[in-house]
Chains A and B, each alone.
Chain A
Amino acid sequence: QQQVKQSPQSLIVQKGGISIINCAYENTAFDYFPWYQQFPGKGPALLIAIRPDVSEKKEGRFTISFNKSAKQFSLHIMDSQPGDSATYFCAAFNQAGTALIFGKGTTLSVSS
């Protein structure tokens, strides 16, 4: 119940295309859903996050779509750029819990 399932494991997108990464969870107590971006040799860094009281959050080219009834959320990267090539992790957290639960990660490659 504490798992967050992330797909796909890897993704190749052409420059200018849309990258979509999906995550699903079981624990309905989760109330915060961040996405982290990790470049090689660096630690994960917060990219964007959403609370379950909204269905969508957009920051620049990055959008989280959240479906509470399906217990799914996804990251959309519009106009994908080579600089977006990184590993992306979804995560889930609840105030009464201990720490962020991470998905296994998606390696995104944006080809120029």
Chain B
Amino acid sequence: DARVTQTPRHKVTEMGQEVTMRCQPILGHNTVFWYRQTMMQGLELLAYFRNRAPLDDSGMPKDRFSAEMPDATLATLKIQPSEPRDSAVYFCASGPQPSYSNQPQHFGDGTRLSIL
């Protein structure tokens, strides 16, 4: 069963530290999404890529967040420096494009990030 794999599953670090979250999309999917989930805001789209090119990162705080796809099998989301307000669950999702009909986005199980 094809899955989106995210690492690490949990991360606890101190404010000011760099955090890197990784995502392995499903093989053959050419769109990759990063979402952040909090109780207050729900699921927020941070960035998305199509064919490894960033298409929209308007949901991301540019001064501290960066998202990249070094190759088709790896997407990364970095926070530097991290702040307590960044504590959330970060989800990666992948899908073929256009991502609807019978081929929806597939989500990973998330990285639960706690910034102390």
Contact = CB atoms under 8 A, between A and B. Distances in A.
A and B associate in one complex: yes
Interface of A: 31-32, 34, 41-46, 49, 51, 89, 93, 95, 98-105
A46 B33 contact: no
Nearest to A104: B42
B100 A93 contact: yes
Interface of B: 4, 33, 41-43, 45, 48, 55-56, 91, 93, 98-101, 104-105, 107-110
Nearest to A95: B98
Nearest to A96: B98
A91 to B, nearest CB: 9
A99 B45 contact: yes
A94 to B, nearest CB: 9
Contact of B107 (A43, A51, A93, A99): A43
Contacts, number: 53
A100 B42 contact: no
A82 B42 CA distance: 23
Nearest to A105: B42
B105 A98 contact: no
Contacts of B98: 95
A96 to B, nearest CB: 9
A41 B110 CA distance: 8
A102 B43 CA distance: 6
A44 B33 CA distance: 13
Given A43-B93, A98-B48, A32 B100 contact: yes
A43 B42 contact: no
B56 A99 contact: yes
Contacts of B42: 89, 102-105
A58 B84 CA distance: 43
B12 to A, nearest CB: 16
A16 B106 CA distance: 30
A93 B104 CA distance: 11
